[in-house]
Amino acid sequence: MTKIKICGIQRIEEAKWAIEAGAHAIGFVFAESRRNIDVESAANISAQLPKDVIKIGVFVNATKQELIEISKRVQLDYVQLHGDETARFCKQLGIPYVKAFSVKEKYDLLLVKDYEEEMVLVDSGKGPYRGGNGTVFDWNYLESIDLKGKKLILAGGLNSENVREAVMKVRPYMVDVSSGVETERIKDQKKIKEFVRIVQMADEEYENLSL
């Protein structure tokens, strides 16, 4: 079953919509973004969520101290690193992390092998931010990557119109959506429900094809 992450959560209502729809994870953006949230607000939301919901914080070039302190304050399960964090830096963190890779061409994926994380996120390299730009990259690039057992999180321009294809073609461990479930830059409950529904249907379709 493909897990689903709704990223860019800024209000408790949005988190509840995601969970009620069937999402498995939510994301708080602490990096520069129009979906940025302050630590105190994220901590308040996190404290109201079920324990089994995966909570992920998005950062760009934060210090080790910042990552550890915010992770503890917000009760994060993972820190998602979108910056220039080296494999050595990540290894020395001492907390669970997801290294994100911005993909403009397939050669951008060569560095994946240098990191020891459990999960790796691939996102589009197009746009003003290190992530969350709402653009799609060429999923064919993923055919040349050896994840060496790592779990793949697919992000970048996903929405209800293309996520079925993504699930069927890429078979990621998790799909990550933000702008694709928004209306006028605000999370939309109906779009969240529809996105989750289509992912679940794609999983069923793939399973039936495999029988």
Does 138 qualify as catalytic in the annotation? no
| Closest by Cα among 182, 152, 181, 147 to 169 | 152
Are 35 and 178 in contact by the 8 Å Cβ rule? The answer is yes
| Closest by Cα among 170, 173, 176 to 155 | 176
DSSP for 21-79 reads HT-SEEEEE-SSSTTB--HHHHHHHHHTS-TTSEEEEEESS--HHHHHHHHHHHT-SEE
Does 7 qualify as catalytic in the annotation? yes
Given 123, 138, 146, 188, the catalytic residue: 123
Hey, which residues are catalytic here? 7, 123
